[in-house]
Amino acid sequence: MGSWGTALASVAAASGREVRLWGRREALAETMRRTGQNPDYLPDTPLPDGIEPTSELAYALDGAEAVLIVTPSSSLREMCGHMRPHLAAGTPLALCCKGIERHTGYLLSHLVEEELPGHPVGALSGPTFARETALGHPTAATIAFEFRYTDRLEPDRSPAARLSVSMSSASFRPYMSDDLVGVEVGGAVKNVIAIACGMMTGAGFAENTRAALITRGIDEMKVLAEALGGKRETVTGLSGAGDLTLTCSSTTSRNMSLGVQLGEGKTRAECFDGKDVVVEGEISAASVVELARRIGVSMPICEAVHAILYDGANLDQTFVDLWARPIESEPRALELELVHPAAMPEA
């Protein structure tokens, strides 16, 4: 019953759906039932009618026509095991968390397909801060499922179409996609790029730097998505460029906030006032770089964030080195690379 799960429950309920919202803590579920709010994660945000908070997973999944999975990526495999006995055959599952599993290099949809075979698996992703979404601010997102042959014959009956209609309201506008890989890659990589933007912001740099990191970060998304079979153009949509722009624009994002604090010179232990805050981009910095190295994809911004977070690299020098890499061409088809003068040894 975190902020994003609660926000999505609000969207579905506002669209006229019956919603069961599951969380581990019965005390919080009881408070939400009594007050109509989630005081721990979305305080002062009234919830619409039609949401039934519960800590009983079997009850939450009983009769569900679709399931939105909003657990942190690091505990997703464990969560699938808990869900397995209670899911009806063929129930569509939409991932609302973002990342790549460490060591296996699996996109989260591949992980779920392995743990919960026989279910259509998709993703809901886009530029969506939870509080604004729950308050009914106009919001757009992408809902992606792979389209099977039968989905091509009757696209309006596909899981992507049915869930998009179910989640649509006067304020929430979904767009449908058949490029699940591209959508997932955008969601995983954007969190890492947001940490980079935060680091440079915290170090005292401003809009030029942020715009450069966003633009080149999108290129890193495109290269990885294409290498994994996704479409480059998906990354220019809501789940890529849209989500990245939002996440890099405000410390409302935990990823941006972590970067800012590190850029200001705080140690990781000092960030968030010492609280144990899960930051998805911190996890993705490891898994994205592991995957990129395995398949031979160059992702220098993600590599820089990884070096700072996991290798103890100096933040200032790492970004100096990032800017002094060989001068490349844009577009890539020009295939030209020159030594950057800043990287040349002094005479």
Are residues 188 and 158 part of one domain? no
Helix 315-323 with 300-310: angle, nearest 10 deg: 160
Question: Exposed, middle or buried by CB within 10 Å (0-12, 13-18, 19+), for 46?
Answer: exposed
Backbone dihedral region of 90: left (phi > 0), alpha (psi from -120 to 50 degrees) or beta?
A: left
Tokens linked to 259 = 């970067």
Tell me how far apart the alpha carbons of residues 326 and 314 are, in angstroms, rounded to a whole number.
20
**Number of C-beta neighbours around residue 27 at 10 A:** 10
Single-letter code of the amino acid located at 161? A
Question: Exposed, middle or buried by CB within 10 Å (0-12, 13-18, 19+), for 300?
Answer: middle
Q: Which of 123, 1, 124 is nearest to 52 (CA)?
A: 1
Are residues 254 and 158 part of one domain? no
* Binding annotation for NAD(+): 130, 254
Domain stops at, among 158, 178, 198 = 178
Give the pairing of strands 121-125 and 139-145.
antiparallel
Are residues 173 and 132 part of one domain? yes
Active site residue 275: no
Q: Which of 239, 42, 248, 44 is nearest to 53 (CA)?
A: 42
Domain stops at, among 151, 178, 205 = 178
Give me the mean pLDDT over the 204-217 stretch. Answer: 96
* Binding annotation: 3-4, 24-25, 41, 98, 126, 128, 130, 190, 243, 253-255, 278, 280
pLDDT digits (tens, 9 = 90+) for 230-262: 999 999 999 999 999 999 999 999 999 999 999
pLDDT computed for residue 225 by the predictor: 97
pLDDT computed for residue 336 by the predictor: 86
Helix 159-167 with 3-14: angle, nearest 10 deg: 80
121: phi then psi, degrees, rounded to nearest 5: -120, 130
Is there a domain that residue 345 lies in? no
pLDDT computed for residue 93 by the predictor: 98
pLDDT computed for residue 97 by the predictor: 94
User: Residue 248 maps to which CATH number?
Assistant: 1.10.1040.10
Give me the mean pLDDT over the 76-101 stretch. Answer: 96
User: Choosing from 190, 222, 231, 266, which is the catalytic residue?
Assistant: 190
pLDDT digits (tens, 9 = 90+) for 122-154: 999 999 999 999 999 999 999 999 998 888 889
pLDDT digits (tens, 9 = 90+) for 148-200: 888 888 989 999 999 999 999 999 999 999 999 999 999 999 999 999 999 99
Beta carbons of 73 and 280 less than 8 angstroms apart: yes
Is there a domain that residue 344 lies in? no
pLDDT grade for 347, boundaries at 50, 70 and 90: low
pLDDT grade for 334, boundaries at 50, 70 and 90: confident
Helices and strands of the chain, counted as H and E runs: 15, 9
Is there a domain that residue 331 lies in? yes
* Binding annotation for substrate: 98, 254-255
pLDDT computed for residue 344 by the predictor: 77
**How many percent of the chain have pLDDT more than 90?**
89
pLDDT grade for 6, boundaries at 50, 70 and 90: very high
Overall number of domains in the chain: 2
Give the pairing of strands 121-125 and 67-69.
unpaired
Is there a domain that residue 216 lies in? yes
Are residues 117 and 56 part of one domain? yes
What's CA 247's distance to the chain center, in Å?
10
Judged against a pLDDT cut of 60, whether residue 291 lies above it is answered with: yes
Give me the mean pLDDT over the 321-340 stretch. Answer: 87
* Binding annotation for sn-glycerol 3-phosphate: 98, 126, 128, 190, 243, 253-255
Edge-first strand order for the sheet with 93-95 is 67-69, 93-95, 121-125, 139-145, 172-177
pLDDT computed for residue 341 by the predictor: 87
pLDDT digits (tens, 9 = 90+) for 20-61: 999 999 999 999 999 999 999 999 899 999 999 999 999 999
Range of the structural domain that residue 165 is part of? 3-178
Q: What is the pTM of this model?
A: 0.93
